[in-house]
Amino acid sequence: MGQDSRDDDGVVPHLSPEEFRRLGHRMVDWIADYQARLESFPVRSQVAPGAVAAKLPAHPPEEGLGGERGWEAVFQELEDVVLPGVTHWQSPSFFAYFPANASGPAVLGELLSAGLGVQGMLWSTSPAATELETRVLDWLAELTGLPEDFRSTSARGGGVIQGTASEATLVAMVAARERVRRQGAPVDSEWVVYTSTQAHSSVLKAAMLCGVAHGAEDSAHVRLIETDARYALRADVLERAIREDLAAGRKPFFVCASVGTTSSGAVDPVRAVGEVLERTGVKAAGGWLHIDAAWAGAALVCPEHRGLLEGVEAADSLSFNPHKWLLTNFDCNAFYTRDRRALLDALSVAPEYLRNAASASGAVIDYRDWQVPLGRRFRALKLWFVLRHYGAKGLRAHIREHVRLGQCFESWVREDARFEVCAPRSLPLVCFRLKPLPGARPEDTDARNRALLERVNATGKVFLSHTVLPAVDGQPARYVLRMAIGATTTREPHVRAAWELLARTAD
């Protein structure tokens, strides 16, 4: 063999501990300064497509930064390249979609997770990563008033951190199908999933990934159930659909109830859905009820909002995202089940290279068996820091203030004769629009509201999003604006300024 060709001196330019310390301090200072000047930026990025890429070299660097001093260029590029292309989700005037909270304690937890560099796939690969997560999820279950059998201290339940609510729905669906199979359903059953027309698209995607749905247009295997005047799933229509499928020889096995839909924050009747599964025999055959409370679940830390989960005792799993409205930065989904055995049956694979005495003893949890990927970060640290820093009182104050602000905004909309509220307010989420002008066609009203939204967002002072509410009670489908209050630093002056901008800009 010929001699290796090398054009380097064999030295890898790692940062020394002292260089890392100085750069780390500077980066934390930069982040703190960014937080302090958040309100000086346009909330929605103003750059054109391709503008960020145009500022970056087409080819990777041959030479590295050469140590600490070379990082000056990086900090300058953060200002010149990155920040102009950022939509500032942490701005107190970000009212689009749903919030994606970050907070100081959560960021510190993320930093610590990265610094420790744990890959917590097994208990044995870092006992602290597993046991801290188990305990913190039990704390969160207690804080949100979940039944005891969703906690790790119960005989069959427990919680785990998933990346997103979409992942949680997929895990629940895979577990549901396996449980129904083990109760006698043929492997080649014609499986059917049920959720409302207003449910998140992740339910359909999970069915596609599971092979249940044969594409995004498959309405035979993913039944989207009609909603009522409040945009909540109709239990009577669900029961009719299930009975039709049973009579046709299909296998109903999974229902997803939404607690806080993406469009309007609607809450499905969990108790009534559970009763349908009992009456139709789906529950007895192993069928699964999952609750997707991705956004609204954070409100459960306040006892006055726990009615959102009326009937939760009928559910097999539930998930919500602390990374939406509970001050914990993305990604962090709290997934709970009362049947962890079903997850293990569906997801456990044990190659020789992962076998170890602790796992074989059955005395530990290996969270790799509770999720789709093998590897996992030490995400519990940031949730732990948030719970310890804010405590239950601080978290409740955070939620209650935003709900109050939602009430304020709703009242301002109702007081202006040009506007109307288009759906029942859900916590701090308000769906509203300009009223139709006399004789206007529905598409004309939609166009006026679309133009209003774009004009307001173009100012850079706020960022709101929209949805289309389906036809109901004789009204056609409507394009509406969404005011989703929930950013970490949002206060009443920010909400009032947003309303005043809307009122001034409206024609």
The DSSP letter of residue 369 is: G
Please report how the helices 202-210 and 165-182 are oriented relative to each other, as an axis angle in degrees rounded to 10.
40
Burial of residue 344, with CB atoms counted within 10 A of its CB: 0-12 exposed, 13-18 middle, 19 or more buried: middle
Strand ranges inside 216-316, DSSP E? 222-225, 251-258, 288-292
Burial of residue 371, with CB atoms counted within 10 A of its CB: 0-12 exposed, 13-18 middle, 19 or more buried: buried
pTM across the whole model: 0.93
- Bridge partner list, 252: 192
Asked if 167 and 372 count as a contact pair (C-beta separation under 8 A), the reply is: yes
Q: Which of 242, 310, 226, 316 is nearest to 271 (CA)?
A: 310
With the CA atoms of 382, 386, 392 and 395 taken in that order, what torsion angle do they form, in degrees rounded to the nearest 10? -110
Least confident of 83-97, 259-273, 357-371: 357-371
DSSP code per residue over 6-59: --S-S---PPPHHHHHHHHHHHHHHHHHHHHTGGGS-SS--PPTTHHHHTS-SS
Residue written as token pair 């900090």: 75
User: 128-140 burial by CB neighbour count: b if 16+ within 10 A, else e?
Assistant: ebbebbbebbbbb
Asked if 284 and 294 count as a contact pair (C-beta separation under 8 A), the reply is: no
The predicted structure's pLDDT at residue 335: 98
Give 112-154 pLDDT, tens digit per residue: 999 999 998 887 889 999 999 999 999 999 999 999 999 999 9
Given its phi and psi angles, is residue 249 left (phi above 0), alpha (psi -120 to 50 degrees) or beta?
Answer: left
The predicted structure's pLDDT at residue 1: 41
pLDDT band with cut points at 50, 70 and 90 for residue 8: low
Asked if 324 and 347 count as a contact pair (C-beta separation under 8 A), the reply is: no
All domains of the chain, ordered by start, with CATH? 17-43+45-86 (1.20.1340), 110-387 (3.40.640.10), 398-505 (3.90.1150.10)
Q: How far apart are CA 323 and CA 61, in angstroms?
A: 35
The predicted structure's pLDDT at residue 358: 77
Q: How far apart are CA 342 and CA 447, in angstroms?
A: 49
pLDDT band with cut points at 50, 70 and 90 for residue 3: very low
As given in the structure block, the two tokens for residue 478 are 């409507």
φ and ψ of 298, to 5 deg: -60, -30
Burial of residue 441, with CB atoms counted within 10 A of its CB: 0-12 exposed, 13-18 middle, 19 or more buried: exposed
Q: How far apart are CA 221 and CA 237, in angstroms?
A: 16
Q: How far apart are CA 476 and CA 469, in angstroms?
A: 9
Q: How far apart are CA 237 and CA 256, in angstroms?
A: 14
pLDDT band with cut points at 50, 70 and 90 for residue 5: very low
- Bridge partner list, 223: 194
Q: How far apart are CA 320 and CA 313, in angstroms?
A: 16
Q: What is the mean pLDDT of the chain?
A: 93
Asked if 289 and 173 count as a contact pair (C-beta separation under 8 A), the reply is: no
Residue written as token pair 């999820």: 137
Q: Which of 384, 296, 288 is nearest to 99 (CA)?
A: 296
As given in the structure block, the two tokens for residue 118 are 């744990």
Give 31-64 pLDDT, tens digit per residue: 999 999 999 999 999 999 999 999 999 999 888 8
Q: 4 pLDDT exceeds 60? A: no
- Bridge partner list, 421: 432
φ and ψ of 219, to 5 deg: -90, 0
pLDDT band with cut points at 50, 70 and 90 for residue 189: confident
Average pLDDT over residues 442-465: 96
With the CA atoms of 229, 234, 240 and 242 taken in that order, what torsion angle do they form, in degrees rounded to the nearest 10? 140
Strand ranges inside 56-175, DSSP E? 158-162
pLDDT band with cut points at 50, 70 and 90 for residue 15: confident
Average pLDDT over residues 220-240: 96
Q: 381 pLDDT exceeds 90? A: yes
Least confident of 85-94, 224-233, 365-374, 491-500: 365-374
Q: Which of 325, 332, 320 is nearest to 290 (CA)?
A: 320
Q: How far is CA 229 from the centre of its chain?
A: 25
Asked if 290 and 169 count as a contact pair (C-beta separation under 8 A), the reply is: yes
Q: How far is CA 474 from the centre of its chain?
A: 33
Q: 2 pLDDT exceeds 60? A: no
Residue written as token pair 């206007």: 440
C-alpha triplet 327, 197, 483: angle, nearest 5°: 40
The DSSP letter of residue 308 is: G
The predicted structure's pLDDT at residue 184: 87
The predicted structure's pLDDT at residue 404: 98
Asked if 110 and 382 count as a contact pair (C-beta separation under 8 A), the reply is: yes
